[in-house]
Amino acid sequence: MSTDRYSIFSVLREALRGHTGWKPAWREPEPKAAYDIVIVGGGGHGLATAHYLAKVHGLTNIAVVEKGWIGGGNVGRNTTIVRSNYLLPGNAPFYEHSMKLWEELEQDLNYNAMVSQRGVVNLFHSDGQRDAYARRGNAMRLHGIDSELLDVPELKRILPMLDYDNARFPVKGALRQKRGGTVRHDAVAWGYARAADGRGVDIIQNCEVTGFRIEAGRVVGLETSRGFIGAKKVGLACAGNSSRVAGMAGLRLPIESHVLQAFVSEGIKPFIDTVCTFGAGHFYISQSDKGGLVFGGDIDGYNSYASRGNLPTIEDVAEGGMALMPAIGRVKLLRHWGGIMDMSMDGSPIIDRTPIEGLYLNAGWCYGGFKATPASGWSFAHLIATDTPHETATAYRLDRFATGRVIDEKGVGAQPNLH
């Protein structure tokens, strides 16, 4: 790697010289005429793919093209939660692989991503929900994933601020994964970008794809706002814009795009030191290192490519939070934003080849995109480099909707906005 390593010694050195010697975290190269591999999308998944292509597979003639700036898309527009508490065999090994990569990420990238394994607590509010969570916890353990079922006295020690006595939906316990937690989303993008650049990958910002050049059923390059770029292989990691970009190549994907809003409050004193989710509604919350409460809820119910939401969803999220912990009603909302979710028909992602030779797809992440970032990049890099799926991602086939091998984690059927 050509990138200078960060360390306590480099910090002390720069402190003594007035921080005048820091170099840019990555280069700003002009696009070359052609690459072996071009990744479309400079978010977490695209940058992670480029990093692992270079690190694991030794491929360096690679470009990542991003229509905006690094960190400006979904990777910087989420609530930073990471976990692997999945039920189904198609999902559990993949997300546990991601969790293990999260645990080693800062050493791998030589970058402080603020990985905080503060735990994820999923509350349940009925006997039936308790049984469902017990089943999930047992399935997790069968896959070697940590889990524990908590009763109310144990839960009160962890989350004393919840409304245990007067809640409309009484809290009866929780399923906890101690290894889950949060990671600083911007730092993930910057760390992967820096690491990939250090291995020779060209990261090309402000380069929008406007079309594909396909000859004899094979992709040979991309038309972009900065000219034609030739490529032997192209990987699409475009999140909520996947359908639009794939449509330029004549593909119609089993995906809808919806906006998902996230919120942060004013900074307050330490209030909650874990991630907590509301089982009787869709609300999840944690507290950032700056003191802000970071929370979110359901996607907006209509299809949209806009990175903004509407007021009824804000009201619904606020109601969920107040039902769970009334104390936050006195806290002021500081800001909110939206990310564009690529919602698949069964709520699980797609990592597969497309019918066009040399064109690969990474999409359909629904709510699970950020937590999957390392494993998504690892698996997508493996697929592009070897033309075979990684062992943890074999179920994420594009044709599973035609063959009936769906991975419906929530069991709500082929309605994307419900997953």
Q: Identify whether the C-beta of residue 159 lies closer than 8 Å to the C-beta of residue 151.
A: no
Domain boundaries, the chain: 8-72+87-104+185-256+349-418, 120-184+257-344
CATH of region 8-72+87-104+185-256+349-418 = 3.50.50.60
pLDDT on residue 168: 87
Judged against a pLDDT cut of 70, whether residue 38 lies above it is answered with yes
Distance CA 175, CA 84 (A): 12
Distance CA 155, CA 75 (A): 31
pLDDT tens digits along 251-305: 999 999 999 999 999 999 999 999 999 999 999 999 999 999 999 999 998 899 9
Q: What residues contact residue 253 under an 8 Å CB cut-off, 6+ apart?
A: 242, 243, 246, 350, 361, 363, 364
pLDDT on residue 3: 64
Architecture of 120-184+257-344 per CATH? 2-Layer Sandwich (3.30)
pLDDT on residue 419: 77
Judged against a pLDDT cut of 80, whether residue 241 lies above it is answered with yes
Q: Could you tell me what percent of the chain has a pLDDT over 90?
A: 90
Mean pLDDT of 400-409: 93
Distance CA 122, CA 291 (A): 22
| Strands 350-353 and 218-224, bridge-based pairing | unpaired
The edge-to-edge listing of strands for the beta sheet with 333-344 is 148-150, 173-177, 120-124, 275-278, 283-287, 292-303, 255-267, 333-344
Q: How confident is the model at residue 2 (pLDDT cuts 50, 70, 90)?
A: low
pLDDT tens digits along 196-211: 999 999 999 999 999 9
Q: Is 353 helix (H, G, I), strand (E, B) or coil?
A: strand
The larger pLDDT score, comparing residue 267 to residue 416, is at 267
Complete DSSP assignment for 92-110? HHHHHHHHHHHHHHHHHHT
